[in-house]
Amino acid sequence: MSKLRARLRKWREAVEKRLPPWRSRALAVSLLVIGIVLPFLFSPSSAFMNATIIAVAYAVMSLGLNIVVGFAGLLDLGYVAFYALGAYSLGWLGSGFFFKAQVHALVSPVASTLPGVHLNFILILIGAALICAAAGVVIGLPTLRLRGDYIAIVTLAFGEIIAVVAVNGQSVHVGGGMTLTAGNLGISAVDAPYFPGIGSFSLLNLRPWYWLIFAILLFVLFVNLRLRDSRLGRAWVALREDEVAAVSMGIPLVRTKLLAYSIGAAFGGMSGAFFGTYYTVVNAAQFQFGFSIFILAMVIIGGLGSIWGAVVGGLALGYINNYLIPVVLNNLPSKVGFNFQLTSVEFGIFGFLLVIVMLLRPQGLIPERRRRLELTAEVAPVDAQLAEAPGTPGGAA
Protein backbone atom coordinates (compact mmCIF):
# COMPACT_ATOMS: atom_id res chain seq x y z
CA MET A 1 0.00 0.00 0.00
CA SER A 2 2.65 2.49 1.01
CA LYS A 3 4.87 1.28 -1.84
CA LEU A 4 2.09 1.98 -4.28
CA ARG A 5 1.60 5.39 -2.77
CA ALA A 6 5.30 6.19 -3.07
CA ARG A 7 5.28 5.15 -6.69
CA LEU A 8 2.24 7.29 -7.40
CA ARG A 9 3.93 10.26 -5.83
CA LYS A 10 7.04 9.69 -7.94
CA TRP A 11 4.93 9.64 -11.08
CA ARG A 12 3.14 12.78 -10.06
CA GLU A 13 6.39 14.57 -9.41
CA ALA A 14 7.78 13.44 -12.76
CA VAL A 15 4.70 14.76 -14.54
CA GLU A 16 4.76 17.99 -12.60
CA LYS A 17 8.39 18.59 -13.49
CA ARG A 18 7.63 18.43 -17.20
CA LEU A 19 4.69 20.83 -17.07
CA PRO A 20 5.51 24.46 -17.80
CA PRO A 21 5.55 26.91 -14.86
CA TRP A 22 2.37 28.69 -15.99
CA ARG A 23 0.34 25.49 -15.67
CA SER A 24 -1.62 26.56 -12.60
CA ARG A 25 -2.67 29.76 -14.31
CA ALA A 26 -3.64 27.82 -17.43
CA LEU A 27 -5.64 25.42 -15.28
CA ALA A 28 -7.47 28.32 -13.62
CA VAL A 29 -8.29 29.94 -16.96
CA SER A 30 -9.53 26.69 -18.47
CA LEU A 31 -11.69 25.98 -15.41
CA LEU A 32 -13.12 29.48 -15.71
CA VAL A 33 -13.92 28.97 -19.38
CA ILE A 34 -15.49 25.57 -18.67
CA GLY A 35 -17.51 27.18 -15.89
CA ILE A 36 -18.83 29.88 -18.20
CA VAL A 37 -19.72 27.69 -21.19
CA LEU A 38 -21.05 24.77 -19.11
CA PRO A 39 -24.75 25.75 -19.43
CA PHE A 40 -24.58 25.53 -23.22
CA LEU A 41 -23.85 21.82 -22.98
CA PHE A 42 -27.10 21.00 -21.19
CA SER A 43 -30.71 21.83 -21.82
CA PRO A 44 -31.69 25.02 -19.98
CA SER A 45 -34.14 23.35 -17.60
CA SER A 46 -32.55 19.95 -17.05
CA ALA A 47 -32.19 18.26 -13.69
CA PHE A 48 -28.45 18.41 -14.12
CA MET A 49 -28.51 22.20 -14.54
CA ASN A 50 -30.62 22.46 -11.40
CA ALA A 51 -28.15 20.29 -9.49
CA THR A 52 -25.25 22.36 -10.81
CA ILE A 53 -26.79 25.61 -9.62
CA ILE A 54 -27.41 24.20 -6.16
CA ALA A 55 -23.94 22.67 -6.03
CA VAL A 56 -22.31 26.00 -6.89
CA ALA A 57 -24.39 27.75 -4.22
CA TYR A 58 -23.28 25.08 -1.73
CA ALA A 59 -19.69 25.75 -2.74
CA VAL A 60 -20.21 29.42 -1.81
CA MET A 61 -21.46 28.38 1.63
CA SER A 62 -18.65 25.92 2.00
CA LEU A 63 -16.15 28.70 1.28
CA GLY A 64 -17.81 30.84 3.93
CA LEU A 65 -17.72 28.12 6.57
CA ASN A 66 -14.15 27.30 5.59
CA ILE A 67 -13.10 30.75 6.81
CA VAL A 68 -14.56 30.10 10.26
CA VAL A 69 -13.68 26.42 10.68
CA GLY A 70 -10.76 25.99 8.32
CA PHE A 71 -8.84 29.24 8.64
CA ALA A 72 -9.67 30.36 12.15
CA GLY A 73 -10.24 26.90 13.64
CA LEU A 74 -13.54 27.85 15.30
CA LEU A 75 -15.82 24.85 14.94
CA ASP A 76 -19.16 26.34 13.93
CA LEU A 77 -22.08 23.90 14.12
CA GLY A 78 -24.74 26.56 13.64
CA TYR A 79 -23.97 27.71 10.14
CA VAL A 80 -27.55 27.06 9.12
CA ALA A 81 -28.38 30.26 11.01
CA PHE A 82 -26.75 32.29 8.25
CA TYR A 83 -28.48 30.33 5.54
CA ALA A 84 -31.71 31.16 7.34
CA LEU A 85 -30.89 34.83 7.84
CA GLY A 86 -29.73 35.19 4.23
CA ALA A 87 -32.89 33.58 2.93
CA TYR A 88 -35.05 35.70 5.24
CA SER A 89 -33.22 38.84 4.11
CA LEU A 90 -34.45 37.97 0.66
CA GLY A 91 -37.93 37.23 1.96
CA TRP A 92 -38.05 40.52 3.84
CA LEU A 93 -36.46 42.73 1.20
CA GLY A 94 -37.68 41.14 -1.99
CA SER A 95 -41.31 40.13 -1.66
CA GLY A 96 -44.71 41.38 -0.66
CA PHE A 97 -44.29 39.91 2.81
CA PHE A 98 -44.22 43.29 4.58
CA PHE A 99 -47.35 44.30 2.74
CA LYS A 100 -47.84 47.60 4.56
CA ALA A 101 -44.56 48.97 3.26
CA GLN A 102 -44.06 50.50 -0.18
CA VAL A 103 -40.37 50.41 -1.00
CA HIS A 104 -39.07 49.81 -4.49
CA ALA A 105 -35.55 50.07 -5.81
CA LEU A 106 -34.43 49.05 -9.28
CA VAL A 107 -36.88 46.20 -9.63
CA SER A 108 -38.85 44.88 -12.58
CA PRO A 109 -41.84 46.94 -13.79
CA VAL A 110 -44.21 44.28 -12.42
CA ALA A 111 -42.69 44.18 -8.96
CA SER A 112 -42.55 47.97 -8.69
CA THR A 113 -46.35 48.12 -8.71
CA LEU A 114 -46.77 45.57 -5.92
CA PRO A 115 -46.99 46.36 -2.21
CA GLY A 116 -44.16 45.33 0.07
CA VAL A 117 -40.42 45.85 0.03
CA HIS A 118 -38.91 45.14 -3.37
CA LEU A 119 -35.19 45.75 -3.79
CA ASN A 120 -32.90 44.78 -6.60
CA PHE A 121 -31.24 41.40 -6.04
CA ILE A 122 -27.77 42.93 -5.79
CA LEU A 123 -28.99 45.26 -3.05
CA ILE A 124 -30.57 42.29 -1.26
CA LEU A 125 -27.31 40.40 -1.59
CA ILE A 126 -25.48 43.26 0.12
CA GLY A 127 -28.23 43.50 2.75
CA ALA A 128 -28.04 39.76 3.43
CA ALA A 129 -24.27 39.95 3.78
CA LEU A 130 -24.55 42.84 6.25
CA ILE A 131 -27.31 41.22 8.32
CA CYS A 132 -25.38 37.97 8.52
CA ALA A 133 -22.12 39.71 9.34
CA ALA A 134 -23.87 41.40 12.28
CA ALA A 135 -25.32 38.04 13.34
CA GLY A 136 -21.86 36.55 13.04
CA VAL A 137 -20.59 39.08 15.58
CA VAL A 138 -23.49 38.23 17.89
CA ILE A 139 -22.75 34.50 17.67
CA GLY A 140 -19.05 35.18 18.10
CA LEU A 141 -19.21 37.30 21.23
CA PRO A 142 -20.15 34.59 23.76
CA THR A 143 -17.56 32.22 22.33
CA LEU A 144 -14.58 34.53 22.66
CA ARG A 145 -13.44 33.08 25.97
CA LEU A 146 -14.16 29.50 24.96
CA ARG A 147 -12.26 26.97 22.93
CA GLY A 148 -12.85 23.84 20.92
CA ASP A 149 -15.92 21.83 21.72
CA TYR A 150 -17.52 24.59 23.72
CA ILE A 151 -17.55 26.86 20.69
CA ALA A 152 -19.22 24.07 18.76
CA ILE A 153 -21.96 23.85 21.37
CA VAL A 154 -22.60 27.58 21.60
CA THR A 155 -22.80 27.94 17.83
CA LEU A 156 -25.07 24.91 17.64
CA ALA A 157 -27.35 26.44 20.26
CA PHE A 158 -27.40 29.70 18.33
CA GLY A 159 -28.31 27.92 15.11
CA GLU A 160 -31.12 26.05 16.85
CA ILE A 161 -32.45 29.25 18.40
CA ILE A 162 -32.56 30.89 14.96
CA ALA A 163 -34.37 27.81 13.61
CA VAL A 164 -36.92 27.92 16.44
CA VAL A 165 -37.48 31.63 15.87
CA ALA A 166 -37.91 30.97 12.15
CA VAL A 167 -40.62 28.39 12.82
CA ASN A 168 -42.39 30.40 15.51
CA GLY A 169 -41.87 33.80 13.89
CA GLN A 170 -45.41 33.50 12.63
CA SER A 171 -46.62 34.44 16.09
CA VAL A 172 -44.14 37.28 16.56
CA HIS A 173 -45.86 40.47 15.46
CA VAL A 174 -43.83 43.35 14.14
CA GLY A 175 -46.71 45.78 13.85
CA GLY A 176 -49.43 46.51 11.30
CA GLY A 177 -50.62 42.89 11.31
CA MET A 178 -47.29 41.77 9.89
CA THR A 179 -45.26 38.95 11.42
CA LEU A 180 -41.55 38.24 11.58
CA THR A 181 -41.56 35.09 9.47
CA ALA A 182 -44.17 32.94 7.84
CA GLY A 183 -43.10 29.81 9.74
CA ASN A 184 -43.64 26.54 8.00
CA LEU A 185 -46.02 28.09 5.49
CA GLY A 186 -43.11 29.96 4.02
CA ILE A 187 -42.73 33.40 2.51
CA SER A 188 -43.80 32.69 -1.03
CA ALA A 189 -43.91 34.73 -4.21
CA VAL A 190 -40.48 36.22 -3.69
CA ASP A 191 -39.08 38.30 -6.54
CA ALA A 192 -36.90 36.62 -9.12
CA PRO A 193 -33.65 38.48 -9.76
CA TYR A 194 -34.12 41.32 -12.24
CA PHE A 195 -31.46 43.24 -14.09
CA PRO A 196 -32.17 46.14 -16.42
CA GLY A 197 -31.54 45.01 -19.98
CA ILE A 198 -31.78 41.31 -19.10
CA GLY A 199 -35.20 41.19 -17.50
CA SER A 200 -36.50 38.92 -14.79
CA PHE A 201 -35.10 35.41 -14.41
CA SER A 202 -37.48 32.57 -15.04
CA LEU A 203 -37.28 29.01 -13.79
CA LEU A 204 -37.92 27.77 -17.33
CA ASN A 205 -34.46 28.91 -18.32
CA LEU A 206 -31.89 28.08 -15.67
CA ARG A 207 -28.87 29.48 -17.51
CA PRO A 208 -29.01 33.05 -16.12
CA TRP A 209 -29.40 31.64 -12.60
CA TYR A 210 -26.29 29.59 -13.14
CA TRP A 211 -24.24 32.56 -14.34
CA LEU A 212 -25.47 34.63 -11.41
CA ILE A 213 -24.41 32.10 -8.79
CA PHE A 214 -21.21 31.40 -10.71
CA ALA A 215 -20.38 35.10 -10.55
CA ILE A 216 -21.07 35.07 -6.81
CA LEU A 217 -18.80 32.06 -6.48
CA LEU A 218 -16.01 33.82 -8.38
CA PHE A 219 -16.37 36.89 -6.17
CA VAL A 220 -16.31 34.83 -2.98
CA LEU A 221 -13.40 32.77 -4.28
CA PHE A 222 -11.45 35.93 -5.08
CA VAL A 223 -12.11 37.39 -1.63
CA ASN A 224 -11.10 34.07 -0.05
CA LEU A 225 -7.84 33.83 -1.94
CA ARG A 226 -6.92 37.42 -1.13
CA LEU A 227 -7.89 36.96 2.51
CA ARG A 228 -5.88 33.79 2.91
CA ASP A 229 -2.66 35.53 1.98
CA SER A 230 -3.45 38.73 3.84
CA ARG A 231 -2.40 39.86 7.27
CA LEU A 232 -5.84 38.88 8.56
CA GLY A 233 -5.63 35.41 7.02
CA ARG A 234 -2.28 34.77 8.64
CA ALA A 235 -3.66 36.04 11.94
CA TRP A 236 -6.50 33.50 11.70
CA VAL A 237 -4.11 30.66 11.09
CA ALA A 238 -1.90 31.80 13.93
CA LEU A 239 -4.88 31.89 16.30
CA ARG A 240 -5.93 28.44 15.14
CA GLU A 241 -2.50 26.96 15.73
CA ASP A 242 -1.77 28.49 19.11
CA GLU A 243 -4.02 31.09 20.61
CA VAL A 244 -1.79 32.04 23.52
CA ALA A 245 1.29 32.45 21.34
CA ALA A 246 -0.65 34.41 18.73
CA VAL A 247 -2.10 36.82 21.27
CA SER A 248 1.25 37.37 22.89
CA MET A 249 2.67 38.22 19.47
CA GLY A 250 0.18 41.07 19.33
CA ILE A 251 -2.70 39.63 17.30
CA PRO A 252 -5.94 41.30 18.43
CA LEU A 253 -7.96 38.29 19.57
CA VAL A 254 -11.43 39.81 19.68
CA ARG A 255 -11.26 41.59 16.35
CA THR A 256 -9.66 38.69 14.51
CA LYS A 257 -12.14 36.10 15.76
CA LEU A 258 -15.16 38.29 15.20
CA LEU A 259 -14.01 39.09 11.67
CA ALA A 260 -13.75 35.38 10.95
CA TYR A 261 -17.31 34.83 12.16
CA SER A 262 -18.75 37.81 10.34
CA ILE A 263 -17.00 37.30 6.99
CA GLY A 264 -17.85 33.60 7.01
CA ALA A 265 -21.42 34.46 7.90
CA ALA A 266 -21.69 37.08 5.15
CA PHE A 267 -20.87 34.52 2.47
CA GLY A 268 -23.39 32.09 3.93
CA GLY A 269 -25.96 34.86 3.85
CA MET A 270 -25.28 35.65 0.20
CA SER A 271 -25.74 32.03 -0.74
CA GLY A 272 -28.83 31.87 1.46
CA ALA A 273 -30.36 34.86 -0.32
CA PHE A 274 -29.71 33.17 -3.65
CA PHE A 275 -31.39 29.99 -2.40
CA GLY A 276 -34.33 32.07 -1.23
CA THR A 277 -35.03 33.44 -4.68
CA TYR A 278 -34.09 30.23 -6.49
CA TYR A 279 -36.44 28.06 -4.43
CA THR A 280 -39.06 30.86 -4.71
CA VAL A 281 -40.06 30.31 -1.11
CA VAL A 282 -38.45 30.96 2.28
CA ASN A 283 -39.70 28.14 4.45
CA ALA A 284 -38.67 27.61 8.07
CA ALA A 285 -38.51 23.84 7.56
CA GLN A 286 -35.39 24.26 5.45
CA PHE A 287 -33.29 25.43 8.35
CA GLN A 288 -32.37 22.35 10.32
CA PHE A 289 -29.29 21.28 12.19
CA GLY A 290 -28.57 18.66 9.55
CA PHE A 291 -27.83 21.42 7.08
CA SER A 292 -25.04 22.81 9.26
CA ILE A 293 -23.49 19.36 9.33
CA PHE A 294 -23.97 19.04 5.60
CA ILE A 295 -21.97 22.22 4.95
CA LEU A 296 -19.39 21.16 7.51
CA ALA A 297 -19.07 17.84 5.71
CA MET A 298 -18.23 19.73 2.50
CA VAL A 299 -15.45 21.65 4.22
CA ILE A 300 -14.05 18.55 5.88
CA ILE A 301 -14.29 16.26 2.88
CA GLY A 302 -12.63 18.93 0.77
CA GLY A 303 -9.90 19.54 3.31
CA LEU A 304 -10.11 21.90 6.28
CA GLY A 305 -8.62 25.28 5.53
CA SER A 306 -8.14 24.55 1.84
CA ILE A 307 -9.97 26.94 -0.48
CA TRP A 308 -10.00 24.63 -3.48
CA GLY A 309 -10.92 21.78 -1.17
CA ALA A 310 -13.96 23.71 0.03
CA VAL A 311 -15.04 24.35 -3.56
CA VAL A 312 -14.55 20.71 -4.57
CA GLY A 313 -16.25 19.46 -1.40
CA GLY A 314 -19.21 21.78 -1.96
CA LEU A 315 -19.59 20.77 -5.59
CA ALA A 316 -19.15 17.07 -4.83
CA LEU A 317 -21.70 16.91 -2.02
CA GLY A 318 -23.99 19.22 -3.97
CA TYR A 319 -24.01 16.83 -6.92
CA ILE A 320 -24.29 13.78 -4.65
CA ASN A 321 -27.20 15.31 -2.76
CA ASN A 322 -29.11 16.79 -5.69
CA TYR A 323 -28.26 14.57 -8.60
CA LEU A 324 -26.64 11.28 -7.69
CA ILE A 325 -28.91 10.30 -4.80
CA PRO A 326 -32.33 11.61 -5.94
CA VAL A 327 -32.00 11.22 -9.71
CA VAL A 328 -29.52 8.44 -10.41
CA LEU A 329 -29.44 6.09 -7.44
CA ASN A 330 -32.71 6.72 -5.63
CA ASN A 331 -34.29 3.40 -6.49
CA LEU A 332 -31.16 1.37 -5.88
CA PRO A 333 -32.30 -0.03 -2.49
CA SER A 334 -35.59 -1.23 -3.95
CA LYS A 335 -33.71 -2.91 -6.78
CA VAL A 336 -31.66 -4.94 -4.31
CA GLY A 337 -34.73 -5.75 -2.25
CA PHE A 338 -34.90 -3.06 0.44
CA ASN A 339 -38.03 -1.11 1.08
CA PHE A 340 -36.80 2.47 1.27
CA GLN A 341 -35.60 5.25 -0.97
CA LEU A 342 -32.07 6.50 -0.83
CA THR A 343 -33.17 10.11 -0.30
CA SER A 344 -34.63 9.23 3.09
CA VAL A 345 -31.25 8.17 4.42
CA GLU A 346 -29.13 10.87 2.80
CA PHE A 347 -27.97 12.24 6.13
CA GLY A 348 -26.96 8.76 7.17
CA ILE A 349 -24.89 8.59 4.00
CA PHE A 350 -23.25 11.91 4.84
CA GLY A 351 -22.60 10.74 8.38
CA PHE A 352 -20.98 7.63 6.98
CA LEU A 353 -18.89 9.74 4.60
CA LEU A 354 -17.76 11.93 7.49
CA VAL A 355 -16.65 8.93 9.53
CA ILE A 356 -14.88 7.30 6.61
CA VAL A 357 -13.10 10.47 5.53
CA MET A 358 -11.98 11.19 9.07
CA LEU A 359 -10.66 7.67 9.55
CA LEU A 360 -9.01 7.17 6.17
CA ARG A 361 -8.07 10.62 4.95
CA PRO A 362 -8.41 13.12 7.80
CA GLN A 363 -6.76 15.84 5.73
CA GLY A 364 -9.56 15.76 3.12
CA LEU A 365 -9.49 15.51 -0.67
CA ILE A 366 -7.34 18.57 -1.36
CA PRO A 367 -5.58 19.27 1.91
CA GLU A 368 -4.14 22.57 2.90
CA ARG A 369 -0.37 22.27 3.04
CA ARG A 370 -0.16 23.18 6.71
CA ARG A 371 -2.80 20.62 7.69
CA ARG A 372 -1.07 17.93 5.70
CA LEU A 373 1.99 18.51 7.81
CA GLU A 374 0.01 18.06 10.98
CA LEU A 375 -2.08 15.09 10.06
CA THR A 376 0.19 12.77 8.12
CA ALA A 377 3.41 11.11 9.04
CA GLU A 378 4.38 11.08 5.38
CA VAL A 379 5.78 14.56 5.05
CA ALA A 380 7.20 15.57 1.71
CA PRO A 381 10.96 16.27 1.82
CA VAL A 382 10.57 20.01 1.29
CA ASP A 383 8.00 20.23 4.04
CA ALA A 384 10.23 18.29 6.38
CA GLN A 385 13.04 20.75 5.75
CA LEU A 386 10.70 23.63 6.39
CA ALA A 387 9.56 22.06 9.62
CA GLU A 388 13.13 21.66 10.81
CA ALA A 389 14.23 25.10 9.66
CA PRO A 390 15.63 27.33 12.41
CA GLY A 391 13.14 29.70 13.94
CA THR A 392 10.32 27.17 13.97
CA PRO A 393 11.43 24.77 16.66
CA GLY A 394 9.42 21.63 16.73
CA GLY A 395 7.81 22.42 13.39
CA ALA A 396 4.07 22.06 13.22
CA ALA A 397 3.96 19.83 16.25
Partner 1 sequence: METTTISPPPGPPALAARPLAAVRRYVGRWGLIAALAALPIYYGITDLVNGYQAGFVAGHAVIHHDLSKLGFNFAEGLSNGAIWALIAIGYTLVYGIIELINFAHGDVFMIGSFTAVGLWATLGLGLTTGALGLVGGLLVTLIIAMIVTGSLNVLIERVAYRPLRSAPKLASLITAVGFSFILQNVGLLWRGGSPQSVPDLIHSQQTVFTIGGVPILRGYILAFAVMIPLVFALTWFINTTRAGRAMRATAQDPEAARLMGINVNSTISLTFLLGGMLAGAAGLVYALYETNIWYFQGFKAGLIAFTAAVMGGIGNVRGAVLGGLIIGVIQSLSDSRLGPQWTEAVVFGYLIAIMVLRPRGLLGEETREAG
Can you give the binding site for partner 1, defined by CB under 8 A?
A: 73, 75, 77, 142-143, 145-150, 152-154, 156-158, 160-161, 164-165, 167-168, 289-290, 293, 296, 300, 304, 340, 344-345, 347-348, 350-355, 358-359, 362, 374-375
Min separation Cβ 339 and partner 1, Å: 9
Min separation Cβ 287 and partner 1, Å: 13
Q: CA–CA separation, 252 vs 311, rounded Å?
A: 29
Of 77 and 133, which CB lies nearer to partner 1 in the complex structure? Answer: 77
Q: Name which of 207, 227, 275 is nearest 59 in CA terms.
A: 275
How many beta carbons lie within 10 A of that of residue 375, not counting itself? 16
Beta strands in the chain (DSSP E): 94-95, 102-105, 116-119, 173-175, 178-179, 187-188, 194-195, 199-200, 281-282
For residue 153, how far is the Cα from the chain centroid? 20
Beta strands in 40-151 (DSSP E): 94-95, 102-105, 116-119
Of 218 and 349, which CB lies nearer to partner 1 in the complex structure? Answer: 349
Residues 6+ apart with CB under 8 A from 78: 139, 155, 156, 157, 158, 159, 160, 162, 292
Of 19 and 356, which CB lies nearer to partner 1 in the complex structure? Answer: 356
Q: CA–CA separation, 16 vs 63, rounded Å?
A: 27
Q: Are strands 116-119 and 102-105 parallel, antiparallel or unpaired?
A: parallel
Min separation Cβ 171 and partner 1, Å: 8
DSSP notation for 133-188 = HHHHHHHHGGGTT--THHHHHHHHHHHHHHHHHHHHGGG-EEETTEES--GGG-EE
Min separation Cβ 290 and partner 1, Å: 7
Of 67 and 90, which CB lies nearer to partner 1 in the complex structure? Answer: 67
Of 5 and 147, which CB lies nearer to partner 1 in the complex structure? Answer: 147
Min separation Cβ 305 and partner 1, Å: 11
For residue 71, how far is the Cα from the chain centroid? 14
Of 103 and 144, which CB lies nearer to partner 1 in the complex structure? Answer: 144
Min separation Cβ 156 and partner 1, Å: 7
What is the chain's Cα-based Rg?
22
Min separation Cβ 2 and partner 1, Å: 17
Of 216 and 357, which CB lies nearer to partner 1 in the complex structure? Answer: 357
Q: CA–CA separation, 86 vs 271, rounded Å?
A: 7
Q: CA–CA separation, 116 vs 32, rounded Å?
A: 38
**Bridge-partner residues for 95, per DSSP?**
117, 190
Min separation Cβ 72 and partner 1, Å: 12
Of 67 and 270, which CB lies nearer to partner 1 in the complex structure? Answer: 67
